[in-house]
Amino acid sequence: MATIDETKSAEGSDETPKYKVIGTRPIRHDGADKVTGRALYGADIKVKGMLYGAIHRSPHAHANIKSIDTSKAEALPGVRAVATSADLPEPGDKIAELGEGSVVLNHLSSNNLARTKVLYKGHSIAAVAADNIHIAREAASLIEVEYELLPPVLDVMEAMSDEAPVLNPDVRTEEVATGEKGDKPTNVAKRFLFEKGDIEKGFAEAKYVVEREFRTSTVHQGYIEPHVATVLWNNDGQITVWTPTQGTFSVRQQVAELLDVPLARVKVVPAEIGGGFGGKISVYLAPAAAVLSRKSGAPVQLVMDRADVLQATGPTPGSYIKIKMGVDAEGHLTAADAWMAYEAGGYPGAPIGAGAMCVFSCYDIPNGRVEGFDVCVNKPRTNAYRAPGATNAAFATEGVVDELCGKLGMSPIDFRLLNASKEGTRRIDGVVYPRVGLVETLEAIKESEHFKTPLTGKNQGRGIGSGFWFNAGLKSAVTATVNSDGSVGLLEGSTDIGGSRTAIAMQFAEAIGLAAEDIKPAVVDTDSVGYTDVTGGSRVTYATGWAAYEAAQDLKRQIIARSAELWDVDPAQVSYEDGHVIGPDKKACFKEIAVELSAGGEPLVGRGVSNHNEPGGAFGTHVVDVEVDPDTGKVDILRYTAAQDCGTAIHPAYVEGQIQGGAVQGIGWGLNEEYWYDKEGSMTNANFLDYRIPTCYDLPMIDAIIVEVPNPGHPYGVRGVGEVPIVPPPAALAAAIQDAVGVQMTELPMSPPRVLHELLKK
Amino acid sequence: MRDFDYEAPTSLADAVGLLTKSNGTARPLAGGTDLIDHVRTGRVSADLIVDLKKIPELMVLEVNDEGLRLGAAVPCYQIYEHPGILEHYSAISDSSNIIGGMQIQNRASVGGNLANAGAAADSTPALIALSATVVITGPSGTREIPVDEFCTGPGQNVLESGEIIVELRFPPRPAHSGSHYRRFIPRNEMDIAVVGVGASVVLDESGENFVSARIGLGAVAAKPFYAQEASEILAGQPVNDETIQKAGAAARAVIHPITDMRGTEEFRNHVTGVLTERVVKKAVERARG
Q: Which of A100, A398, A723, A758 is catalytic?
A: A723
Residues of A in contact with B257 (CB under 8 A): none
Q: What percentage of chain A exceeds 90 in pLDDT?
A: 95
Residues of B in contact with A672 (CB under 8 A): 186-187
Quick one: which of A214, A644, A153 has its CA closest to A440?
A644
| Per-residue pLDDT tens digits for A107-145 | 999 999 999 999 999 999 999 999 999 999 999 999 999
* CATH number listed for the domain at residues A473-611: 3.30.365.10
* H or E segment and range at residue A356: helix A352-358
Residues of A in contact with B267 (CB under 8 A): 633, 752-753, 756-757
| Partner residue facing A672 (CB), from B3, B187, B266 | B187
User: Per the CB < 8 Å rule, is A695 touching B190?
Assistant: yes
Tell which of A691, A696, A751 to mutate to test the B interface (max B CBs under 10 Å): A751
**Which residues of chain B are in CATH 3.30.390.50 domains?**
177-287
Model pLDDT, residue A96? 85
Please give the Cα distance from A544 to A549 (Å, whole number).
8
* H or E segment and range at residue A391: helix A390-408
- Residue A725's pLDDT band, with cuts at 50, 70 and 90, is very high
ipTM greater than 0.90: yes
Name the residue of chain A whose CA is nearest to B265's CA. Answer: A753
| Per-residue pLDDT tens digits for A95-108 | 887 766 788 999 99
**A723 assigned to active site:** yes
CA distances from A642 to A180, A388, A443, A659, B153 (A): 42, 19, 12, 7, 48
Domain residue spans of chain A: 1-7+434-471+617-762, 42-151+226-304, 473-611
| Per-residue pLDDT tens digits for A665-721 | 999 999 999 999 999 999 999 999 999 999 999 999 999 999 999 999 999 999 999
Please give the Cα distance from B137 to B139 (Å, whole number).
7
Vertex A662 angle, CA A659 and A663, to 5°: 80
Does residue A14 register a pLDDT over 80? no
3-state SS of chain B is CCCCEEECCCCHHHHHHHHHHCCCCEEEECCCCCHHHHHHCCCCCCCEEEECCCCHHHHCEEEECCEEEEECCCEHHHHHCCHHHHHHCHHHHHHHHHCCCHHHHCCCEHHHHHHHCCCCCCCHHHHHHCCCEEEEEECCEEEEEEHHHCEEECCEECCCCCCEEEEEEECCCCCCEEEEEEEECCCCCCCCCCEEEEEEEEECCCCCEEEEEEEEEECCCCCCEECHHHHHCCCCCECCHHHHHHHHHHHHHCCCCCCECCECHHHHHHHHHHHHHHHHHHHHHHHCC
Nearest CA to CA, how far is B257 from chain A (Å)? 13
Please give the Cα distance from A487 to A737 (Å, whole number).
54
| Per-residue pLDDT tens digits for A170-205 | 999 999 999 999 999 999 999 999 999 999 999 999
**Which residues of chain B are in CATH 3.30.43.10 domains?**
5-51
Relative to beta strand B48-51, strand B26-29 is: parallel
Model pLDDT, residue A616? 77
| Partner residue facing A753 (CB), from B187, B189, B267 | B267
Does residue A52 register a pLDDT over 70? yes
Do A605 and A479 contact (CB within 8 A), yes or no? yes
Does residue A4 register a pLDDT over 60? no
Architecture (CATH level 2) of domain A1-7+434-471+617-762: 2-Layer Sandwich (3.30)
Please give the Cα distance from B159 to A268 (Å, whole number).
55
Q: Which of A411-420, B97-106, B231-240 has the lowest mean pLDDT?
A: B97-106
Model pLDDT, residue A17? 84
Do A643 and A448 contact (CB within 8 A), yes or no? yes
Does residue B258 register a pLDDT over 50? yes
User: Per the CB < 8 Å rule, is B260 touching A676?
Assistant: yes
Model pLDDT, residue B240? 98
- Place domain A42-151+226-304 in its CATH homologous superfamily: Aldehyde oxidase/xanthine dehydrogenase, a/b hammerhead (3.90.1170.50)
Q: What percentage of chain B exceeds 90 in pLDDT?
A: 93
User: Per the CB < 8 Å rule, is B271 touching A685?
Assistant: no
Does the domain spanning B177-287 belong to CATH 3.30.390.50?
A: yes
Do A738 and A632 contact (CB within 8 A), yes or no? no
User: Per the CB < 8 Å rule, is A689 touching B186?
Assistant: no
Model pLDDT, residue A11? 47
Question: Cα A704 vs. chain centroid, distance in angstroms?
Answer: 20
| Per-residue pLDDT tens digits for A386-419 | 999 999 999 999 999 999 999 999 999 999 999 9
User: Per the CB < 8 Å rule, is A695 touching B188?
Assistant: yes
Architecture (CATH level 2) of domain B57-170: 2-Layer Sandwich (3.30)
- Residue B40's pLDDT band, with cuts at 50, 70 and 90, is confident
Q: Which of A585-594, B19-28, B180-189 has the lowest mean pLDDT?
A: B19-28
- Residue A5's pLDDT band, with cuts at 50, 70 and 90, is very low
User: Quick count: other Cβ atoms within 10 Å of Cβ B56?
Assistant: 10
| Per-residue pLDDT tens digits for A516-566 | 999 999 999 999 999 999 999 999 999 999 999 999 999 999 999 999 999
Residues of A in contact with B263 (CB under 8 A): 752-753
Model pLDDT, residue A100? 64
Q: Give helix then strand counts, H and E, for chain A.
A: 20, 30
Model pLDDT, residue B22? 87
Is the minimum CB–CB distance between A132 and chain B shorter than 8 Å? no
User: Per the CB < 8 Å rule, is B184 touching A698?
Assistant: no
Model pLDDT, residue B19? 95
Average pLDDT on B244-263 reads 97
Residues of B in contact with A76 (CB under 8 A): none
- Residue A477's pLDDT band, with cuts at 50, 70 and 90, is very high
User: Per the CB < 8 Å rule, is B264 touching A676?
Assistant: no
Nearest CA to CA, how far is B273 from chain A (Å)? 10
Does residue B2 register a pLDDT over 90? no
Model pLDDT, residue A88? 97
User: Per the CB < 8 Å rule, is B261 touching A753?
Assistant: no
Residues A444/A450/A451/A457 CA torsion (nearest 10 deg): -170
- Residue A30's pLDDT band, with cuts at 50, 70 and 90, is very high
Does the domain spanning B5-51 belong to CATH 3.30.43.10?
A: yes
Model pLDDT, residue A6? 46
Does residue A7 register a pLDDT over 60? no
Please give the Cα distance from A149 to A156 (Å, whole number).
20
Average pLDDT, chain A: 96
Does residue A268 register a pLDDT over 90? yes
Same fold, A1-7+434-471+617-762 and A473-611: yes
Does residue A9 register a pLDDT over 70? no
| Per-residue pLDDT tens digits for B152-202 | 999 999 999 999 999 999 999 999 999 999 999 999 988 999 999 999 999
3-state DSSP call for residue A202? Answer: helix
